[in-house]
């Protein structure tokens, strides 16, 4: 339920969000504007003593009898200083002389006197002006109206009825501001002072929805624990198992923390690129026993089968009671390994191979498909600390990189093994793409992890933990199709090497997409492998290629694979697929495979999320 | 941390402070705008349109009344329950004088009040109680006392209030009005007078609400942004 409430909250917010700001702001302004000032009380003279009524010469009954209009009421009234009768038919009113009953007009002189008597302050009145047309400052009144403007700082304006000389309204600039703000508050842009207009009722309904759904989301997203310091919360014990079922360790945590936080406090740093922000999807753990219902973040990163078996994002998983969780990577999570940089080779302008010699030999768990988490320390680098060979100078000079490259806090970034460890003489081989950040108008800083890697020189020390991940070659000798792009070369290359090295005999296809020849890594290496192993074929697909010569295919890699292999394949059901590359390529390829009726179990992929 | 993170955090924490009040504002706002204000005022429940004064017939001359009230500073000739009557304003207050006989005719006694209530009331429920009140109930707190309260047994618990001095209808109250008034009290956060929109509590709450709305708008920028594919 929460995800769609969230979605609707967001959309309704989008539609009337601005109105919400206006309601709050206008409400605030109205509460700040002093009501007495708005009503011009500070320019209102104190009420005069009631004068005794003089004896009239004509009885009101006589006037009523004489009037052609029906009269509902006759009352005594003072027009400026002159006693008159005021008659009313319920809708309008008029004045009659108390001596002869003749009608009494409201003159400019009367109005000036009335206004002067009503006003205190240092403004001077302008001469009264009979309005041709009634403005919104006197809406709600009908009939002729006189206007008297005063020359004070508040721009006081009095409105006097042309029917009976009563003061109808006392306006000033504070009132005008208040009225404008009220118009915004009531969404009554025709200024009829009508807060029953359909627009505001609709917005109000949206507003109520926003408030109700907001309260729901509030309770859904706040954990009680967040309000209480960790040490006041009850302690819980979290038992951590490896993926193989072996118990790794018990850690103490506090109720209300997330599993990610609890493990982190105990030195067990789960893989993460987002630091617990529920957006990288790397911190997946499995809950043993009863897992809480998956949240929308869980559903975004974990497929339905794995959700059913209890996989959740640790950074979205609250610790509520003692519990048991399984983490992939097992003991590797605790160990920090140290390695020395052996070499850093620019394979293409923005793909660089790093060979790292670990201090302690690596175990057999470092398999192709696995990735490491490189511990990126805080750093401050100069732009020319990033070295690059002469022939890539142009590519680099077209980037707009800032003079200083800074990483304030240590972070961790994931990089896949790009060659089997045995094949690399016990070393770790990584292939890292440089993230230049968003270029152009809205610049974004270069990637923290890749900048760090690109500053490494032989002899430097690097820390990492791992291996992690469940991207791996499946046992069995099914026909294999590798489809990749960009830095996705790394794990696929390791897998291909590992297979061929171990003497695999099944057919192995590798389709790799790059923009152009310059950006394609390891082309010669792959061509050599294809010459050497009859069961391995290599297809380079170039999306930009002007130079697509012999053996080069032009287009997008998934489309090329479809045309060149999948469409005419006799038995796709018996193939296995290994995908790795940029998100768009990955998504397009996965939907292509799904369209071809290939089951999810046949497809393994690694998502770098960049 | 990403700005999106702070936006979400800000929105959430400010919600903790102002959330309930924001809900009350929304509920009140919707009710007050969705209900026609004429209905809330109870225009459908009372009938006050007076007939015009008679054009014939002898009426007492005001001079006669003025003689009786030396400190008279004005009067009003109107109809009350069909009869022409003078509402005399003098230093001591207001009196009603029968415009035909010249006799003192006020203040409104129980029998008159009953007639007034029945003639004004537009519903079809019986008059349930009629009381002369010396202390104004909250719902007519701004009106002068004493006053006649006529309560009817309809579904809205209609109450009409009349002035014993003038016989005028002072107010019409019914359930929807009471709800409106209650929500208005919550809306402006003046829990005593229900009228002071300049109170400090409201000013503070409105400031926080503004921050709250702005944080929401800030968050919107991120909520609709797709993760950029590099
Ligand atoms: C399982 C796995 C395996 C991986 N294997 C490899 C691999 O073998 N080779 C490889 O090259 N990569 C690999 N990656 C990707 C790698 O982990 C990093 O994500 C990648 O190197 C970018 O990290 P970074 O620190 O350089 O950039 P980050 O600092 O994480 O930034 C990422 C991008 O966001 C932009 N950005 C930075 N700050 C902001 C901001 N405030 N607002 C908006 N955008 C911003 C940056 O400019 C950059 O383009 C793998 C990822 C995963 C999950
Ligand atoms: S840490 Fe990134 S999703 Fe959990």
pTM: 0.59
Name the pLDDT band for A48 (thresholds 50, 70, 90): confident
Dist CA A263 CA A236 (whole Å): 12
Is a pLDDT exceeding 90 seen at residue A365? no
A277, A301 Cβ separation under 8 angstroms: no
* Residue at B85 is within a domain: yes
Residue A526 to residue A269: CA distance in whole angstroms: 36
Which CATH code for domain A230-332? Answer: 3.10.20.30
Give the mean pLDDT of B38-61. 83
Q: What is the pLDDT of residue A554?
A: 83
Task: Provide the pLDDT for residue A252.
Answer: 85
Who contacts A404 (Cβ-Cβ below 8 Å, separation ≥6)?
Answer: A380, A381, A382, A383
**pLDDT for residue A316:** 86
Least confident of A57-61, A160-164, A454-458, B111-115: A57-61
What average pLDDT score do residues A228-240 get?
Answer: 79
CB A579 within 8 A of CB A603: yes
Instruction: Give the start-to-end residue ranges of the domains of chain A.
Output: 3-37+177-220, 43-170, 230-332, 338-463, 479-606
Give pLDDT, residue A136: 87
Query: In the sheet where A603-607 sits, what is the strand order?
Result: A552-554, A536-542, A508-514, A479-485, A575-581, A603-607
Which residues of B are less than 8 Å from A487 in CB distance? none
User: What dihedral do alpha carbons A345, A348, A349, A350 form, nearest 10°?
Assistant: -80
CA of A324 to the centre of ligand 2 (A): 19
Quick one: pLDDT at residue A224?
56
B230 → closest Cβ in A25, A201, A610:
A610
Over residues A76-84, the mean pLDDT reads 91
pLDDT in tens, A476-526: 889 999 999 999 999 999 999 999 999 888 999 999 999 888 899 999 999
Percent of chain B with pLDDT over 90: 49
- At residue A228, the pLDDT reads 67
**Tens-digit pLDDT profile for residues A114-170:** 999 999 999 999 999 999 888 889 988 888 999 999 999 999 999 999 999 999 999
Looking at every residue in chain B, the average pLDDT score rounds to: 87
Query: How much of chain A, in percent, has pLDDT values that exceed 90?
Result: 47
Alpha-carbon gap, residue A187 to A167, rounded angstroms: 28
Q: State pLDDT tens for residues A93-125.
A: 999 998 888 889 999 999 999 999 999 999 999
More confident residue, B98 or B220: B98
**Ligand 1 pocket, residue A413 CB under 6 Å:** yes
Residue B124 is assigned to a structural domain of this protein = no
CA A270, A276, A280: angle at the middle one, nearest 5?
85
Q: Given CATH 2.102.10.10, say whether it is the number of domain A479-606.
A: no
Best mutation target among B33, B203, B227 (most A Cβ atoms within 10 Å) is B33
**Does the beta carbon of A264 lie inside 6 Å of ligand 2?**
no
Residue A569 Cβ contacting ligand 1 at under 6 Å: no
**What's the pLDDT tens digit per position in A12-35?**
888 888 898 999 999 999 999 999
Confidence grade of residue B228 (pLDDT, cut at 50, 70, 90): very low
Q: How much is the pLDDT for A255?
A: 81
Task: Please state at what angle helix A198-221 crosses helix B3-34, rounded to 10 degrees.
Answer: 140
**B128 CA to centre of own chain:** 21
Rounded mean pLDDT of A282-302? Answer: 87
Q: Is A346 helix (H, G, I), strand (E, B) or coil?
A: strand
DSSP string covering B103-156: -B--S--HHHHHHHHHHHB-SSSPEEEEEEESS--GGGTTSPSSEEEEEE-STT
Is B51 within the bounds of a domain?
A: yes
Determine the distance from the C-alpha atom of residue A248 to the mean position of all C-alpha atoms in its chain, rounded to a whole number.
38
Rounded distance between C-alpha atoms, residue B31 and residue B20, angstroms: 17
Residue B84 lies in a domain: yes
Q: Per the CB < 8 Å rule, is B58 touching A205?
A: no
User: Per the domain annotation, does B37 fall within a domain?
Assistant: no
Q: Are A375 and A465 in contact (CB under 8 A)?
A: yes
CATH fold, domain A338-463, is Elongation Factor Tu (Ef-tu); domain 3 (2.40.30)
pLDDT tens, residue by residue, A323-335: 899 888 777 777 7
Please write the tens of the pLDDT for every residue from B66-85.
888 888 889 999 988 888 99
| B230 shares contact with chain A (CB less than 8 Å) | yes
Does B157 map to a domain?
A: no
Q: Which residues 28-57 of B have a C-beta within 8 angstroms of A?
A: 29-30, 32-37, 49-57
Domain count, chain B: 1
Share of chain B above pLDDT 70, in %: 93
CA angle A355, A356, A362 (to 5 degrees): 120
Q: Return the CATH number at B96.
A: 3.10.450
Least confident range of A58-72, A530-544, B157-171 = A58-72
Look at residue A222 in the predicted model and tell me its pLDDT.
Answer: 64
Contacts 24+ apart (CB under 8 A), A561-570: A561/A481, A561/A483, A561/A509, A561/A511, A561/A589, A561/A592, A562/A592, A562/A596, A564/A511, A564/A539, A565/A481, A565/A509, A565/A511, A566/A481, A566/A592, A566/A596
Q: Which two tokens mark A180?
A: 């404008």
Q: Is the CB of A283 under 6 A from ligand 2?
A: yes
Report pLDDT digits (tens) over B1-23: 456 667 777 888 888 889 899 99
Q: How many angstroms separate the CA atoms of A389 and A399, rounded?
A: 15
Residue B73, domain member (yes or no): yes
Residue B186 lies in a domain: no
- Residue A337: CB atoms within 10 A of its CB come to 18
Condensed to tens digits (0 to 9), the pLDDT of residues A261-278 reads 888 888 788 888 766 767
Phi-psi region of A312 (alpha: psi -120 to 50; beta: other; left: phi over 0): beta
Residue B22 in contact with partner chain A when CB distance is under 8 A = yes
Nearest CA in chain B to A8: B223
Count of residues making up chain A: 610
Question: How high does pLDDT run on average in chain A?
Answer: 88
CB B197 within 8 A of CB B185: no
Q: A182 or A409: which carries more pLDDT confidence?
A: A182
Least reliable range by pLDDT among A368-382, A575-589, B138-152, B216-230: B216-230
Q: What pLDDT score was predicted for residue A140?
A: 85
- For A528, the token pair is 């050599």
| A128 touches A177 (CB < 8 A) | no
């Amino acid at each position: 339920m929460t995800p769609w409430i969230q979605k609707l909250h967001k959309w309704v917010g989008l539609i009337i969000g601005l109105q919400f700001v206006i309601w709050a702001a206008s409400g605030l302004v109205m509460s700040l504007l002093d009501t007495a000032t708005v009503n011009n009380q500070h320019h209102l003279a104190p009420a005069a003593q009631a004068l005794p009524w003089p004896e009239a010469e004509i009885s009101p009954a006589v006037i009523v009898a004489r009037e052609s209009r029906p009269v509902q009421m006759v009352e005594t009234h003072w027009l400026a200083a002159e006693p008159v009768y005021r008659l009313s038919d319920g809708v309008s009113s008029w004045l009659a002389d108390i001596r002869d009953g003749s009608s009494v007009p409201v003159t400019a002189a009367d109005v000036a006197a009335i206004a002067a008597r009503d006003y205190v302050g240092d403004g001077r009145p302008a001469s009264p002006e009979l309005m041709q047309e009634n403005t919104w400052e006197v809406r709600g009144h009908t009939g002729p109206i006189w206007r008297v403007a005063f020359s004070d700082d508040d721009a006081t304006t009095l409105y006097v009825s042309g029917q009976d000389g009563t003061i109808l309204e006392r306006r000033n600039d504070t009132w005008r501001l208040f009225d404008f703000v009220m118009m915004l508050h009531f969404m009554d842009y025709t200024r009829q002072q009508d807060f029953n207009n359909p627009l505001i009722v609709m917005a109000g309904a949206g507003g109520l929805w926003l408030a109700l759904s907001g309260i729901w989301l509030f309770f859904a997203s706040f954990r009680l624990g967040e309000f209480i310091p960790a040490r006041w919360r009850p302690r819980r014990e979290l038992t951590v198992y490896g993926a193989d079922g072996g118990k790794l360790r018990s850690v103490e945590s506090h109720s209300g923390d997330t599993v990610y936080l609890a493990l982190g406090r105990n030195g067990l740093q789960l893989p993460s690129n987002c630091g617990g922000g529920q957006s990288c999807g790397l911190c997946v753990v499995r809950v043993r026993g009863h897992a809480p219902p998956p949240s929308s973040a869980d559903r975004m990163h974990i497929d339905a089968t794995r959700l059913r078996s209890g996989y959740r994002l640790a950074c979205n998983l609250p610790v509520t009671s003692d519990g048991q969780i399984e983490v992939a990577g097992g003991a590797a999570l605790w160990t920090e390994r140290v390695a020395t940089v052996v070499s850093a080779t620019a394979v293409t302008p923005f793909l660089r191979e790093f060979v790292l010699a670990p201090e302690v030999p690596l175990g057999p768990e470092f398999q192709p498909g696995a990735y490491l988490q490189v511990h990126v320390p805080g750093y401050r680098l100069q732009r020319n600390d990033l070295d690059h060979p002469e022939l890539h100078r142009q590519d680099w000079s077209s980037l707009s990189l800032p003079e200083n490259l800074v990483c304030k806090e240590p972070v961790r970034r994931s990089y896949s093994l790009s060659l089997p460890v045995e094949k690399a003489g016990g070393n770790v081989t990584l292939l890292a793409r440089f993230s230049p950040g968003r270029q152009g108008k809205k610049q974004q800083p270069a990637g923290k992890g890749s900048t760090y890697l690109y500053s490494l020189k032989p002899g430097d020390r690097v820390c990492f933990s791992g291996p992690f991940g469940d991207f791996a070659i499946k046992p069995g000798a099914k026909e294999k199709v590798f489809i990749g792009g960009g830095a996705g070369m790394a794990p696929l290359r390791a897998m291909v090497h590992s297979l061929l090295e171990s003497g695999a005999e099944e057919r192995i296809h590798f389709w790799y997409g790059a923009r152009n020849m310059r950006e394609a890594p390891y082309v010669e290496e792959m061509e050599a492998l294809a010459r050497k192993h009859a069961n391995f074929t290599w297809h380079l697909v170039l999306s930009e290629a002007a130079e697509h010569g012999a053996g080069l295919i032009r287009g997008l890699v998934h489309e090329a694979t479809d045309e060149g292999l999948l469409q005419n394949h006799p038995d796709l059901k018996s193939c296995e697929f290994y995908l790795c590359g940029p998100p768009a390529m990955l998504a397009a390829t996965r939907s292509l495979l799904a369209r071809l009726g290939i089951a999810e179990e046949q497809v393994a992929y690694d998502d770098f999320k960049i | 941390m990403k700005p999106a993170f702070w936006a979400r955090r800000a929105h959430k924490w400010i919600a903790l402070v102002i959330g309930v009040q924001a809900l009350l504002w929304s509920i009140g706002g919707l009710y007050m705008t969705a209900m026609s204000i004429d209905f809330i005022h109870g225009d459908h429940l009372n009938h006050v349109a007076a007939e015009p004064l008679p054009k014939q017939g002898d009426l007492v001359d005001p001079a006669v009344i003025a003689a009786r009230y030396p400190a008279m500073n004005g009067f009003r000739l109107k109809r009350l329950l069909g009869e022409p009557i003078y509402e005399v304003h003098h230093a001591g207050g207001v009196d009603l004088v029968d415009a035909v006989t010249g006799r003192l005719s006020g203040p409104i006694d129980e029998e008159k009040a009953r007639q007034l209530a029945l003639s004004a009331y537009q519903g079809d429920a019986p008059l349930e109680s009629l009381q002369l009140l010396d202390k104004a109930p909250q719902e007519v707190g701004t009106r002068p006392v004493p006053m006649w309260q006529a309560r009817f047994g309809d579904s809205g618990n209609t109450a009409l209030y009349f002035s014993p001095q003038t016989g005028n209808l002072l107010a019409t109250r019914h359930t929807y009005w009471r709800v409106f008034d209650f929500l208005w009290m919550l809306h402006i956060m003046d829990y005593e007078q229900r009228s002071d929109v300049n109170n400090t509590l409201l000013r503070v709450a409105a400031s926080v609400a503004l921050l709250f709305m702005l944080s929401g708008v800030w968050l919107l920028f991120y909520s609709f942004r797709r993760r950029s594919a590099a």
